[in-house]
Every structure is written in structure tokens, then in C-alpha cells.
Amino acid sequence: MQRYFCNSLEDKTFTLSDDDTYHIVKVMRMEIGDEIEVIYNSKLFITRILELRPVKAIIIKELDTYNEMGIKVTIAQSLVKESKMDLILQKGVELGAYSFIPLKTKNSIIRLESKEDKKIERWQRIVKEACRQSKRNVIPKVFNIMSLEELGELDYDLKIICTVNELTLSLKNLLQNANKCDTIIIVIGPEGGFLKEEENYLIQKGFVATSLGKLVLRTETASLVALSMINYEYER
Amino acid sequence: MQRYFCNSLEDKTFTLSDDDTYHIVKVMRMEIGDEIEVIYNSKLFITRILELRPVKAIIIKELDTYNEMGIKVTIAQSLVKESKMDLILQKGVELGAYSFIPLKTKNSIIRLESKEDKKIERWQRIVKEACRQSKRNVIPKVFNIMSLEELGELDYDLKIICTVNELTLSLKNLLQNANKCDTIIIVIGPEGGFLKEEENYLIQKGFVATSLGKLVLRTETASLVALSMINYEYER
């Protein structure tokens, strides 16, 4: 069944957004009486369509399901070109990321000053769409673009920076020896990697330099690998 | 340094293929005297360019490096549309897959009869290019398209079929309780999944139904997740 996010509920009836109305009516060609899933307030409802423009749908029942997972993993991804960023967001949602921080670094390819708002909005839309497809109940937040200094001030139980130096601590070693943690942040460098001084700055701010293994990974693959490994370790 | 595969060696001099010659001369604009890395017989050599059409390069030294990893993991991927197959091959190489088997199933989107040779050739080219970028010394083989019956006859130490049923054995549970193994095959279903009878057939042939976790993964993500998890478990 198709699934939509909604934040407008009145009299047991959801009113869906223009985008979702378009998708339901034009793309899915659904009609009055058809059923859709609606996520509201992180809860999942089965609903029946009552009206089409905009789509209004009444609750039939609330499902007792909650597929979000204990540990909250934030991906701080250095800016890369658009198509790669899209892939990172889509796959990140699919693999259970809790939120995303786009990160400005010395080697980041893209410089965006004026259009930043539009970018974030677009990324947030991609994340929402990926959520729908991955049947997740909570939409991960895409934060505004941060500097390394802003990142350094954030508070997480476990702060990880992925390095290309395979001689550093492995992620497995780190996770298996870490205290119980509820929030993890993983920082992924840009193509070309962090400058030594950037890496050192984060380490000084409590981030642990960690290797994802012996393989040569591209920047757009690193977050997916890290998330897969965390899911494996904690059996999410 | 740029890296190329070669299988023509005479008098300590490699003769590179037309494709690689084009890449070296036209794309990289290299000249006589420049150095390139050459992989020959799974070994890595530093060489100096002697001639340009075709490129001939003489061995300066052999490097004592071998980045291939103990366990050989084969990905048997049900056929999916081209762009997804390309991603699976590229990322699979990056994550250390040893070989690939394209698999024909009931729900496979693409039916290719006449053009099969061309497909395999194209996939093998993609794999070779990905190897170059991931600095791998061995080019994974792309097998001809197999049927489920052919797949069922293959011999591996550990045979895994990924299911969407999260109640089955987890991959972690399986790997941590498996005997020492040198070869693993992982079968990934098509979009829409395997038919029950297909899954049962493989289980009867010794494949173990295994879950990659609670998340809803797309078919093109499953192999990458499985490879990441195997790399994590065996610290490859």
C-alpha cells in the first residue's frame, strides 16, 4: 500500500499536501474509496480516501508498528556533487540514518552561499520520498550546512570520523569496546579527504579516527558502509 | 598514479590495450617517460612509458602489495534494470566482491536472449573500470547469466539467500556460527522478490535463508549491505 506523511489531522481525517495529492491522483490514479497508509506524528494509520482535490482520507485503523531503531545515527557528509549527495541521502534513509548534516570542508567541491535554502529544501524532499519508499515512520532531518567548527561543538555519545588510514582503529573494534550509546555521529570526508589539520581539529574535539576496512572506498559509499556495519553490530 | 590491467608482457615491457592506450594518451594526456601502475597476473608493477601507440611501458619495480582478501564472496544478483545493475557491479567491486553471477528469475525485469554476450562484455568492462578506481589487483569475473537450476548446482562453503522475512536467521547469527569458510555466495532477489517456490528450491539446494535486518532494502542496496557486513565480520 502507498504510504504518505501528513501533519494535518481533523475529525479523524487527514488532508494531504499538494505534492502528495498529485502523486495519489495523477501518478497512482487512485480514487475515492481506495486505501492509503498515512504516517502522522510517527504513527502509522490505514485510511480511506474521501475526497480527491486535495486528497482527504479518513482513519480506518491505527497500526501497532514502529520501525524506528534504538540508536540514532547522524551522518555528517562533506559536500560532494549533487548526484552523489542525492545517493547518500536516499541510501542513508534506506539504511536507517536518523539525521544528516551537510558539511563544508576545504576540499568540498561545491560552494553554495546564496542558494543554500533551496538546497536544503531539495535534500529534505529527497529524504521524505526515500522514507516513503523505505516505509520509515520518521523523516530524518537535514540540517543546514555546517562548518567544521560548528560540528566540533555538537554533543553525541559516540563521535566518529572515518579516515582512509587503514592502520587506525577499525569501526568494529571501536563499536565493540564502546560504552552503551544512544546517539552516534559519523563524519565522512570529501573526495580527496580531509586536510590533516581538519582531521586533527575534530580529533581534538572528541571525534575518534576510525577505519572502515582495507578497501578503497569512495566518499559516497562510506556512509552506506558505516551504516551497514552499525546495523550489523547492533542488529538493527 | 593511474593503474591499468595488462596481460601482454615481453622483455619486461607491457603492451597496453587500445582502450587503455586511448585513456592514457587522450584522457590522461600522458607522455613518454611518465609512470603508470600496471597489474599483471594479480601483481602490481610500477612502469615507465616507452611508446605511445600503442602504449608500451617497461617495469621499474614490482610492488610487494596484495590487497585481495582471504574470503571470496560471489554475488548472485537477479537481473534488474541496467542502471541498477551497473551500480551493483561498481559498488560490489569497491566492496571486495570476488565474482558476479547475473541470475534469471521469474520476477526479473529484463529478458535478454540474443544480446546476452554484449551484456556480459559490457558488465565485465564496468567491473574492470571499477577495479582500476578501487585499486584492486584482481578483476572479478562476471559469469554468464544463470538459471536458478544452474545456481543450485554450484559449490560454495557458505550459500546464503537474502530474504525480506525479518524473522529468519540474521546474517550476523549465521556468520558468527558458521564454520571457517573460504568461499561465500550471496543470492539477491529481484524487485518484487523471489517466488516462494524459487526460494524453497534454493533452500533445498543448501542455501540458508538469511535476513539483513529490520530495514526495507531495495534490491540494488542488498548486495552492498551484505558485503559491508561480511567485511565487518571478517575485518577485511
Per-residue pLDDT tens over the stretch A79-128: 988 889 999 999 999 999 999 999 999 887 666 655 888 899 999 999 99
Strands B72-78 and B183-188: parallel
Residue B191's closest CA among B211, B220, B163, B212? B220
Confirm if A65 and A44 have CB atoms less than 8 A apart: yes
The verdict on B185 touching A (C-beta cutoff 8 Å) is: no
Our separate counts of H helices and E strands in chain B read: 7, 12
The verdict on B124 touching A (C-beta cutoff 8 Å) is: no
Residues within 8 A of A (CB atoms), B 78-97 only: 91, 94-96
The verdict on A218 touching B (C-beta cutoff 8 Å) is: yes
Domains of chain B: 3-63 (2.40.240.20), 72-234 (3.40.1280.10)
pTM for the model stands at: 0.78
Give the ipTM of the model, two decimals please: 0.76
Contacting residues of A for B232, CB less than 8 Å apart: 171-172, 213, 228-229, 232-233
The verdict on B225 touching A (C-beta cutoff 8 Å) is: yes
Residue A36's closest CA among A126, A128, A132? A132
Residues within 8 A of A (CB atoms), B 2-61 only: none
Residue A53 C-alpha, separation from nearest chain B C-alpha, in angstroms: 31
The verdict on B169 touching A (C-beta cutoff 8 Å) is: no
Cα separation, B31 vs B23, whole angstroms: 12
Confirm if A173 and A62 have CB atoms less than 8 A apart: no
Interface test with A, best of B37, B225, B230, B234 (most A CBs within 10 A): B225
Confirm if B75 and B154 have CB atoms less than 8 A apart: no
Residue in chain B closest to A66 (alpha carbons) equals B214
The verdict on B232 touching A (C-beta cutoff 8 Å) is: yes
First to last CA, chain A: 24
Q: Looking at the partner chain, which of B69, B229, B235 has a beta carbon nearest the beta carbon of A228? A: B229
pLDDT tens track, chain B, 236 positions? 788 888 888 889 999 999 899 999 988 899 999 999 998 887 889 999 999 989 999 999 887 665 566 789 999 999 988 889 999 999 999 999 999 999 999 887 666 655 888 899 999 999 999 998 888 888 899 999 999 999 999 999 999 999 876 668 899 999 998 888 889 999 999 988 899 999 999 999 999 999 998 888 888 999 999 999 999 998 87
The verdict on B1 touching A (C-beta cutoff 8 Å) is: no
Contacting residues of A for B236, CB less than 8 Å apart: 213-215
